[in-house]
A and B are shown apart, each in its own frame.
Chain A
Amino acid sequence: MRYMLLIYGCHREELPDAYNEVNKYVKELMARGVFLGADPLHLPDTATTVQVRSDEVLITDGPYAETHEALGGYFMVDCADLDAAIELASLCPLAKLGTVEIRPVLEAQFG
């Protein structure tokens, strides 16, 4: 079963050795055979919002969510059940600073 681990509530700068820590974590996920993907995101001040209303494309700069509330990145894992996902999330170095939200993936077949 796939789960997305969403990282909220931490500045990357607050973790002094962020790259190495996260890299070590990804290696651990790979060694366990659960790793599917992961990406850090640029800060929310780079965000652009798009909406289509009455066939018109509305583009807005932002939203400038507080960095602490914004999505900072994600990990995608494939593991047995929620208990396994909770264990993986608790190993994440970013969980020490911020919050990891575990969301089960709704498996739908497109295309």
Chain B
Amino acid sequence: MHAVEQVFREHRTRMLAALVRVLGGDMELAEDSLQDACTQALRSWTVVPDDPMAWLLTVARNKAIDRIRRARRSLSVEEVPVPAFFSSDDALLRAGDDRLSLIFTCCHPALSLEARVALTLQAVAGLTAFQIARAFLVPESTMAQRLVRAKRKIRDARITFTVPSDHQLPSRLSSVLAVVYLAYTQSYVASDRSLAAEAIRLGKLIASLMPDEPEALGLVALMVLQESRSSARRTPSGDLVLLEDQDRSLWDQAAITEGTSLLDLALSRRSPGPYQLQAAIAAVHSQAKSFSDTDWDQIVALYTELAVRTPSPVISLNLAVAVAMTSGPAEGLRLMDTITGLDKFHLMHSARADLLRRLDRFDEARTAYARALELATEDADRRFLRYRLNSLP
């Protein structure tokens, strides 16, 4: 690997973040000039400079000045000011770690959720527009446009490149964590394990930059534990395998160990939150030798706590499924039938169908599976539901 590529891979996010800061929040300009600097390094590095990162940053800054001057000459209106920060020559080299500012800027609530995810994957994780487009199942041109629009909004509406102040931090951090988790869950929709790896890497970066936030650690634990089951979740032909039917010998024990110890570390801070609770649920499943062997009382307790903190019909559904394991399918069904707002959610109907099947109410189970089948859009889900429907007596 060429030395430039090595430095770029290792320090790209850091260099980009430092440049965005000195360029007053202009992400496009920062990316372009970092690219320029790398191109020049590829041509001119016969020996690697003592501080390659400082070399690249200095050249990138000069390239940015060139670009601003060129843009000024081509405009009749003086729309592009040469920013004052260039006067302090060593501001860039005193750069600390600006990656957190970059992350919070990419996840600013004034950007749409889809723009936040795309921008974070590009600017922080270093994915290309093509890779992000493939993961979100949209044309590359649509994704490229989305990214450009978001960067221009940051520049033109002046979203300040900074870590939010203390009173805003909790809500802004949850926006950041939601972006990372959305990227992770999208990896299942797109069957893209490399996206999952990027999301986990992102989560780890955030957790290491914010060591006082156990929810960041909790999110990493959750993703690592879910990922430990990824080879058991699908058959080789891509069919979905439910937790209860998974071959547990395919679970990645090293990942389970890692996820569990990350969760323990998070819980030791004694400030539990939704991600830590979900990770704890995943950890209980990971420790069970079989589905029936699972500590369902613990699962019920965790879902009950989660439903108190972040009430949602999907959490109530999960709670009802767990209650069906501790108190029987009739009690689970009773709880499930009190949930509103999930009529259009195929998993609600398939979960209901499953309880009806266990209660030997096969006609009702058939109707519920058929309804789930109508609502499911993913091929793997539909194959699974059809199989279940056909297995009824």
A interface residues (Cβ-Cβ under 8 A, vs B) = 1, 80-83, 86, 102, 104, 106-109
Minimum CB distance partner of B158 in chain A: A81
Closest 4 CB pairs of A and B: A81-B160, A104-B157, A81-B158, A82-B159
CB neighbours (8 Å) of B158 from chain A are 1, 81-82, 104
CB neighbours (8 Å) of A107 from chain B are 79
Task: Determine if A82 and B78 form an interchain contact, defined as CB atoms under 8 angstroms apart.
Answer: no
Q: How far is the CB of B76 from chain A (nearest CB, A)?
A: 10
B interface residues (Cβ-Cβ under 8 A, vs A) = 77-79, 108, 110, 156-160, 164, 168
Task: Determine if B77 and A80 form an interchain contact, defined as CB atoms under 8 angstroms apart.
Answer: no
Contact of A109 among B78, B110, B168 (CB under 8 A): B78
Contact of B110 among A1, A82, A106, A108 (CB under 8 A): A82
CA distance in complex: A107, B79 (Å): 7
CB neighbours (8 Å) of A109 from chain B are 77-78
CB neighbours (8 Å) of B159 from chain A are 81-83
Task: Determine if A108 and B160 form an interchain contact, defined as CB atoms under 8 angstroms apart.
Answer: no
Task: Determine if B156 and A104 form an interchain contact, defined as CB atoms under 8 angstroms apart.
Answer: yes
CB neighbours (8 Å) of A108 from chain B are 77, 79
Minimum CB distance partner of A109 in chain B: B78
Minimum CB distance partner of B159 in chain A: A82
Q: How far is the CB of B57 from chain A (nearest CB, A)?
A: 24
Q: How far is the CB of B71 from chain A (nearest CB, A)?
A: 15
Contact of A106 among B156, B160, B164, B168 (CB under 8 A): B156
CA distance in complex: A19, B125 (Å): 50
CB neighbours (8 Å) of B110 from chain A are 82, 86
CA distance in complex: A65, B110 (Å): 27
CA distance in complex: A82, B77 (Å): 24
Minimum CB distance partner of A108 in chain B: B77
CA distance in complex: A108, B108 (Å): 27
A109-B77, A109-B78 are known contacts. Are A83 and B160 too (CB-CB below 8 A)? yes
Q: Most chain-A Cβ atoms within 10 A of its Cβ — which of B108, B156, B164, B168? A: B156
